[in-house]
Structure 1
Amino acid sequence: MTKHTVELGTIQETLLIPLYGRAVENLKAEAVLRDPRAEEIVAAIEYDFSRFDGLPSLAGTVLRTALFDRWVADFLADHPSGTVVELGAGLNTRHERVDSTQARWFDLDLPDVIALRRKFFTDTAQRTTISASVTDTSWPATVEEDTDGPYIFCAEAVLPFLEGTEVHHVLGMIAERFPGSLLALDTAGPEIVATQATHDALSKVEARMQWSCGDPAELATWLPGTTVRASHTLSSLPGRMYEQLPAAYQDMIDRLAEQRLPQVEEYRLSLVRLP
């Protein structure tokens, strides 16, 4: 089988970590989520994924994705015809995992990522790919063209790699153009950013996080009126989600909760309502 070569920028290469995490998870007898498309894509890409084998962060990426999936599913349960915007979509397959038959969906990422993504995904009347930086001021117009909202934006493993001023710009732009929208995001605290060179997965690539955020509530100091709807660490996931996890994951989370490691407690997954 001819495989697709990967020509991605430094930051963009990190998208391969959660992709591989989902593919590995799909092979398990008891899995947090099922993603056969991720397994197919990994098999079709020319890349040394073995560098990520056995890394604890793979499980973390799967849990993060599963929580974001839940937030999007809950949003669509309330708003079946709502709009989902993936900021830094990478090779995510949330559209395939979540019941989104009526939703309007946008997958946004940088041109090199979109070039790779187009080898595996095709636009439809309901699903549109946007080739642009999340900081670009032009992409909101594409989303606005034929949608009325409500909106949920997903920034999974994206914003920490931007400068703080860029994050401020992106959130301000979304709040201005799509007031009252939901935003699912992850944040890394100062100690995580300071020690990321020894991180099990990031140490395997050249990308480095730039923006640190100790508390998602800080976003309200940038955008007054922003409210945190939910915020979790990997050791304090929602009770309903924890109860449905395979036993091995529950055991891992229990150990993490006891250890209270800074690299776990400073990494937060949050759902916020923008003003």
Structure 2
Amino acid sequence: MSRHIPSLGAVQETLLIPLYGRAVEHHQPEPALRDPRAVELVAAIAYDFGRFDALPSLTGSVLRTVLFDAWTRDFLDRHPTGTVVEIGTGRGTRYERADNGRAHWFDLDLPDVIALRRAFFADTPRRRMLAASVTEEAWLDEIAQRAEGPWLFSAEAVLPFLAEEAVRQLLRRLARRFPGALLALDTNSTALVGAQDGHDALSKVAARLRWGCDDIDVLTDWVPGTRILGSHTLTSLPHAVHAGLPTPHRRMLDDLARQRLPQVEQYRMHLVQLP
């Protein structure tokens, strides 16, 4: 089998970390999720994934994905024909895990990422790839023209790599074009951003976090009327999500909760509703 050699920018390279995390998790005796597509993608991409072996961040990325998956399924349960937009999709496979057969999906990422993605995925009447930077505006027009709401924008492990002003502008644009939309995102504290050179995974790649957020309520200042629907650390996942994890994962998280480690407690995942 021929293997694809990725030619990606620094930030785009980080998207390979959660892909590998899902592939590794798939093979666990009691996995938090199954993702055979991730296994296929890792096997088909010529990259030294072994540099991320045994890193705690791999498990963290999987648990984050489990939560984002849960938010997506909940959204589609309430809005079966709604629209899901994966911002910074990378080699994401949420569609394969959560699609309900009726929703509209858009996979958005930079042109080099989408070029590699097209080697493995194809557009369909309900699912389209968009090659653009999240900081641009044209992609918003395309989504508005092609699909109706309600909308869920999922930005998993993306916004912390943007400058704060770019994040602020994105939220304002989304609120203006897609009123009432949901946005799933994650944040790192300013302390974690300052200490990222010692991070187990980020220390192995060139990309660096730029936006540090110590209080998610800042979003309500940027875009008045924004509602914070949920804000969680890995050790404070929603009850249904935590209860659905395999026993080894629940025990690990319970142990981490007792330790109160800054690198765990200062990383959060949020679901917000724009006005």
Q: What TM-score does the superposition give when structure 2 sets the normalisation length?
A: 0.99
Name the aligned partner's letter for residue 212 of structure 1: G
Number of aligned residues: 275
Instruction: Kindly state the Cα deviation for residue 99 of structure 1 after the two structures are TM-superposed.
Output: 3.0
Deviates most, 10-19 or 213-222: 213-222
- Identify the residue that residue 65 of structure 2 maps to in structure 1: 65
Counterpart CA distance in 2 for 1:255 and 1:218 is 30
**1:102 is paired with a residue of what secondary structure?**
coil
Q: Deviations over 1:224-246 (max 9, x none)?
A: 11111011001111111111111
Q: Is 1:16 matched with 2:16?
A: yes
Counterpart CA distance in 2 for 1:263 and 1:10 is 22
Q: Is 1:260 matched with 2:260?
A: yes
- Identify the residue that residue 193 of structure 1 maps to in structure 2: 193
- Identify the residue that residue 184 of structure 2 maps to in structure 1: 184
- Identify the residue that residue 146 of structure 1 maps to in structure 2: 146
Counterpart CA distance in 2 for 1:274 and 1:22 is 30
Identity of aligned residues (%): 58
Q: What TM-score does the superposition give when structure 1 sets the normalisation length?
A: 0.99
- Identify the residue that residue 42 of structure 2 maps to in structure 1: 42
- Identify the residue that residue 161 of structure 1 maps to in structure 2: 161
**1:42 is paired with a residue of what secondary structure?**
helix
Q: Is 1:26 matched with 2:4?
A: no
Instruction: Kindly state the Cα deviation for residue 179 of structure 1 after the two structures are TM-superposed.
Output: 0.7
- Identify the residue that residue 97 of structure 2 maps to in structure 1: 97
Unaligned runs of 5+ in 2: none
Counterpart CA distance in 1 for 2:162 and 2:109 is 14
Counterpart CA distance in 2 for 1:10 and 1:91 is 15
Q: Deviations over 1:2-34 (max 9, x none)?
A: 100010000000000000000001111211111
**2:225 is paired with a residue of what secondary structure?**
coil
- Identify the residue that residue 77 of structure 1 maps to in structure 2: 77
Instruction: Kindly state the Cα deviation for residue 255 of structure 1 after the two structures are TM-superposed.
Output: 1.4
Q: CA RMSD in A?
A: 0.7
- Identify the residue that residue 212 of structure 2 maps to in structure 1: 212
Q: Is 1:247 matched with 2:247?
A: yes
Name the aligned partner's letter for residue 63 of structure 1: L
Instruction: Kindly state the Cα deviation for residue 247 of structure 1 after the two structures are TM-superposed.
Output: 1.4
Q: Deviations over 1:134-156 (max 9, x none)?
A: 01111011101132200000000
Name the aligned partner's letter for residue 165 of structure 1: E
- Identify the residue that residue 131 of structure 2 maps to in structure 1: 131
Q: Deviations over 1:79-120 (max 9, x none)?
A: 000000011000000000003310000000000000010011
Counterpart CA distance in 2 for 1:245 and 1:137 is 38
**2:217 is paired with a residue of what secondary structure?**
helix
Q: Deviations over 1:147-166 (max 9, x none)?
A: 22000000000000000000
- Identify the residue that residue 273 of structure 1 maps to in structure 2: 273
Counterpart CA distance in 2 for 1:119 and 1:3 is 10
Unaligned runs of 5+ in 1: none
**2:120 is paired with a residue of what secondary structure?**
coil
Q: Extract structure 1 runs of 4+ deviating beyond 6 A.
A: none
Counterpart CA distance in 1 for 2:229 and 2:114 is 31
Counterpart CA distance in 1 for 2:274 and 2:18 is 26
Given that 1:191 and 1:263 are in contact with CA atoms closer than 8 Å, whether structure 2 keeps it comes out as: no
**1:235 is paired with a residue of what secondary structure?**
helix
**1:5 is paired with a residue of what secondary structure?**
coil
Counterpart CA distance in 1 for 2:251 and 2:206 is 32
Counterpart CA distance in 2 for 1:256 and 1:136 is 39
- Identify the residue that residue 228 of structure 1 maps to in structure 2: 228
